[in-house]
Structure 1
Amino acid sequence: MAGTSSHLFDEARFPIAWRFNATDCGLSADDKQRVVLFDQAESQVLWDRFIPVPSLITGLPSLFQCHEKTTLDFAQRGESSLFFERRLSPEAGLFWLFWLFWGRCCAAQVPRDIFIKCWDDFFYPSDENTALVMPGSAEVMFSFEENLFYGQFVRPMAAPL
């Protein structure tokens, strides 16, 4: 994560870093220091550990139970952050760090407070394969364009003998 203040993350090592190096990124330099990006090989290992499908769009319908769907308002960051505040509350017993995936090859570990404050630096309106995974839980959030889905992974049951 070394570099100049405008390009804190190495885009050659972490292709998703452009999001955080962009001039319109809402995260402060201190916030960015708390986001841990993983390279492609590390990201693939994490994806395979936490997400039971190779692609959210093609493999998710049979392995995901949706509890809530909402439309994110990217023009109203504060309003939409209330959804995340409610769903990612400490009272829900969730951890303070989340795994965020932009497909199978890009992942980050993100603190709860940073994610909620600038959720739109992590989810984009054009996303189709971005997921927020809560460690120690089957709960997951993923987006498709401006729609956000909250629910949980449902593991397939083994066939009876």
Structure 2
Amino acid sequence: MDRQHYLFDEQRYPIAWRFNARDCGLSDSDKQRLCLYQQAQSQALWDEWVPLSHLMSVSAGTFQVSETTTLDFKRRADGARFFQKVLEGEEWLWLFWGRCCAAQVPRDIFIKCWDDFFYPSDENTVLVMPGSAEVIFSFEENFFYGQFVRPMAAPQ
């Protein structure tokens, strides 16, 4: 086993296969700057930032779209320009691959290899910008940028 490609324990962090894969564009030093979370921590963070159990249940009533764009996964530089613009001012990002897998990712690492974090086949991957509570999620090559609409608290 080539240690260079197996920095993360896939038993502990099921999403680690993305970063252990030979075709992952991140260097070992980039990978060491990622902070992967175990299932219980990931679930607590998801519940804090994402008001849905699954992104496929998002609707106009639960998400306010600021921008929609199409990104070609074969054209990394085009996607990097989009993310550079919308992530301005953020240092760290939360990445969720469903409710059970999360990571804290430096902005520069994400922008460099955004296509190692999002895959066209993903249905439940969301990037959260903690400084603004804005999010980005995708369906195939369509990326949706905006904010979740939180239900109003009932008057006391």
Q: So what's the TM-score if we normalise by structure 2?
A: 0.93
Q: Number of aligned pairs?
A: 155
Q: Which runs of 4+ in 1 moved over 4 A?
A: none
In 2: Cα distance, 1:61 partner to 1:18 partner: 33
- Deviation, 1:151, is 0.4
8 A contact 2:127–2:135 mirrored in 1: yes
8 A contact 1:53–1:60 mirrored in 2: no
Q: Aligned to 1:5, what secondary structure does the other structure show? A: helix
Which residue number in structure 2 is paired with residue 113 of structure 1?
Answer: 108
Match of 1:124 among 119, 122, 130: 119
Unmatched runs of 5 consecutive residues or more in structure 1:
none
Output the amino acid matched with 2:16: A
8 A contact 2:66–2:146 mirrored in 1: yes
In terms of mean alpha carbon deviation, does 151-160 or 70-79 score higher? 151-160
Match of 1:157 among 144, 152, 155: 152
- Deviation, 1:116, is 0.3
- Deviation, 1:79, is 1.2
In 1: Cα distance, 2:140 partner to 2:10 partner: 24
| Distance of aligned partners of 1:45 and 1:160 in 2 relative to their CA distance in 1, 3 Å threshold | closer
Unmatched runs of 5 consecutive residues or more in structure 2:
none
8 A contact 1:70–1:147 mirrored in 2: yes
- 1:97 and 2:92 are equivalent in the alignment: yes
- Deviation, 1:154, is 1.6
| Distance of aligned partners of 1:159 and 1:82 in 2 relative to their CA distance in 1, 3 Å threshold | same
Q: So what's the TM-score if we normalise by structure 1?
A: 0.91
Which residue number in structure 2 is paired with residue 85 of structure 1?
Answer: 84
- 1:27-51 per-residue CA deviation (whole Å, 9 max, x = no partner) reads 0000000001001111101101111
In terms of mean alpha carbon deviation, does 96-105 or 48-57 score higher? 48-57
Identity of aligned residues (%): 66
